[in-house]
Structure formats: structure tokens, C-alpha cells
Chain A
Amino acid sequence: MNFGVIAEYMPLYTEAFFLTIKIGWIGIAISFVLGIAVAFIMHFKIPVLSAISKAYIELFRNTPLLIQLFFLYFGLPKIGINISAEVCGALGLGLLGGSYMAETIRSGLDAVPKSQTESGKALGMKPLLIFKDIILPQAFATSVPGLLANIIFLLKETSVFSAISLMDLMFTAKDLIGLYYNTTECLVMLVIFYIIMLLPVSLIGSRVEKRVRYKMFGA
């Protein structure tokens, strides 16, 4: 292990790290917005839109991000739609994540017993109020562990960005290995940066999961 090399590569890695985080979290934000919209559409069974949402979820949950990105980045320009690599990464991650988020939120909404809505009605609450004050908080509580797992999954998927020559961590490592052949140093730095990026989220995830389990099973 050569620490001089590590110090030399540090600025390149930090730059890539922030780019990865930036695009990753923009993608996650898109996936949340998309996921909530799609989940609501499916929960309220809005005609036509509901069918489209279902097709969208199935299509994106059953294909790998790498293929989706290749299609967006190399395929679409051929029919006149040009997207930059960064936008493509965020959009691809958002579309993939949206389908996962939608599924998690929808199952949270469906998990709230029907008697809750009925009780609300019996108390004379308006449908909107029932949804906002009774259904949503309960659905949210059951969805949280799944949502956090999705966030971890999406942050991990950012490593695929390197395939569309976005200068992320993976790309930087691959590039440096190819140029100078300091394989060990490059890989160690890669691992450390991914740990910095993901360990906090993962630890929060396990804690939340434990608390939810405690609430549900009491053990």
C-alpha cells in the first residue's frame, strides 16, 4: 500500500464522491415524488392512469438499471432525444426508484385495515381528513423500513453510472486502475468512500427496522 498514491488520488475521489452523492440523491428525490404519485394513483384506482402505473412498475422492476441507462443514454439519441449523462443518471435512477417506492408505499397504504376508514366515517370525518389524519400516518409507519431499504438499494445502484461515462466513484477507480495500475490503493479508496456514503444510512435503517418490529411484535 502506497500512501503517497492515496494522497495524490484523494482530490479526484472526493470530487467523484460528491458527484455520486449529488446525482444519487437527486435521483432518490425524483423516485420519491414519482413513487408517491404512482402509489396514490393505484390506491385510489384512478382509471387508465392506474393501468399505466401498473405497467410502469412491472417494466422497471423487472429490468436492470444498467439496461435502462443504456437505453436512455445510447438508444434515445437515435430517435432525436438527447440527454446529458448526468441528467440521464438521475432520471434513470429516479425511474427505477419510483417503481420500487411506489410498490412500498402502496403496500403500506393497503396494509391499513379497512375498519380504520369505516371508523373514521362513523365519526363523521370527511374522506380527505380520514386519508390525511388516519390512513397516511399508519401507512407511513409501516412503509418506513421499506423506504430506507430502497434508498440504500438506490445509492448502491449509482455504481452503474460509470457505464454511461459519468465520472462517479466507480468510473474514477476504473480509470485510475487503467492508467497507473495501482489496483490495491484504488480499490481500498473505492471501498472506503462507499462505506462513508452508505454505512450511516444502513445503520439508521437497522435501528428504524428494530423499532418498527418492536412496535409490531413487542419483541
Chain B
Amino acid sequence: MGFDVLLKGSNMSRLLGGLGISLEISLISVVISIVLGVGVGMLMTVNNRAVKAVTRVYLEIVRIMPQMVLLFIVYFGATKAMGLNLSAEASAIIVFSFWGVAEMADLVRGSLLSIPVIQYESSKALGFSKLQTYIYIIIPQIVRRMIPLSINLITRMIKTTSLVMMIGIVEVLKVGQQIIEANRKSSPNAAFGVFATIFILYFLACWPISCLSKYLEKKWS
């Protein structure tokens, strides 16, 4: 079945190292996305035509452009159009953050809008200032809603970063291909074992995080 290849030499640890690279890129992008996303999300609820128009276009771009296309635009397009020479890792982080910020901002906007208007009105009636309303009334409510969703964003980020292989980053899938190529003669069926293992590895990386997110969502709703 081709699983034996993984036990030879340092193949398994190389594979795990490759997964580590994917996880590292996703983690950096998630942190950037959450920090900037909260800001952009709050900006989206501001009643200003220009801000609304810009954020809408931004959201729509992210919503309809496949991440792979964005990846190609930044990695190949930016180099040619602007003479920028970005490393593959840097372009991946830029693209996934660009995507993640929009996703996060949309979640923040959604949670802000899901707070009934009466909450704002009541706090106004009680004499809270706008800032106080946010700090004492709105934010505590949305944080509970946001945390499970942000954790969910991590798993989606991990799944999306599998695409970086297409711009030449040597991550788990690429390492897998190298292992298969190197052992073509000795174990011709390696492809099955290696890809099945990668499949399981991704599952093991994402599943616990999904479970945590689901658990928190249930607990706090």
C-alpha cells in the first residue's frame, strides 16, 4: 500500500516538517487577520458612504476571487507589474491575511449587527457615551459570539494554506511528492500511502480546533 516508505530514513519527520511550514504560515496570517479584522469590521458599521463603498468592494473582491488567483496575482503579477520581488512565503502571508481580514471583518460586522438596536438605545437612555456603550455593553456581547468563529477561521486558514504548494513553497504536499519521486523504484505504490497520510495529518491538525470551536459555540450561545 506504500505506507512503508514513510518509515524509511527521515521521511516521516520531513513530512511533519512540511506540515509545520503550512501551520506557521497559517498562524502568522491568522494573527494578522484577527487583529486587523476587528478594526475593519468595526469600521464597516460606521455610517459613512465612502467607507461603506470601499469596504463593500473589498469584501466582494475577497468573496468572489479564489485565493489561488490572489496568490498568483501577488506572486507573479506584482513582480512583473511593479518590479516587486516578494518571496513565496511573504506573498502567501500577504494573500492569506488579505483574505482573512475580510472574513474576520465580516464576522465582526455580522455580530455587531446582530446586537439588537434596543441595546444601543437603552445605553443611550442611561447616559452612556458612545465609547462606554461599546466597552461595557456591546463588546462583551460580541466577544462571546466572536471567539468560536475566530477559532473556526484558524482551521479554514490551515486548509487554505495547502495552496502555497502551487507557488513553489516546499510544504507537506511538496515533500510528499519528493518522497514519492525518490522511492519510485523501490516502492511504486508510495503515492497511496503518502497522500493518505497527508490527508490524515491535515485532519488531525484541523479536527481538534473545529471541535473546540463547536464546543465553545454551544457553551456560550
Contacts and interface: CB of A to CB of B under 8 A. Distances in A.
Given A62-B207, A67-B202, A202 B64 contact: yes
B173 A66 contact: yes
A117 B152 CA distance: 32
B203 A63 contact: yes
Interface stretch (B41-49, B119-127, B193-201): B193-201
Interface in A148-201: 152, 156-160, 162-163, 170, 173-174, 177, 183-184, 187, 190-191, 194-195, 198-199
Contacts of B117: 219
Contacts of B159: 62-64
B63 A191 contact: no
B188 to A, nearest CB: 8
Interface residues on A, range: 35 or more
A75 interface: yes
Contacts of A78: 1-2, 188-192
Contacts of B67: 156, 159
A40 interface: no
Contacts of A191: 65, 69, 73
A184 B76 CA distance: 9
B191 A74 contact: yes
A54 interface: no
A194 B191 contact: no
A170 B66 CA distance: 10
27 contacts: A58-B210, A62-B155, A62-B159, A63-B199, A63-B206, A64-B163, A66-B163, A67-B162, A67-B199, A71-B196, A75-B191, A75-B195, A78-B190, A78-B191, A157-B66, A163-B165, A183-B76, A183-B80, A184-B77, A187-B72, A187-B76, A194-B66, A194-B69, A195-B64, A198-B65, A202-B63, A202-B64
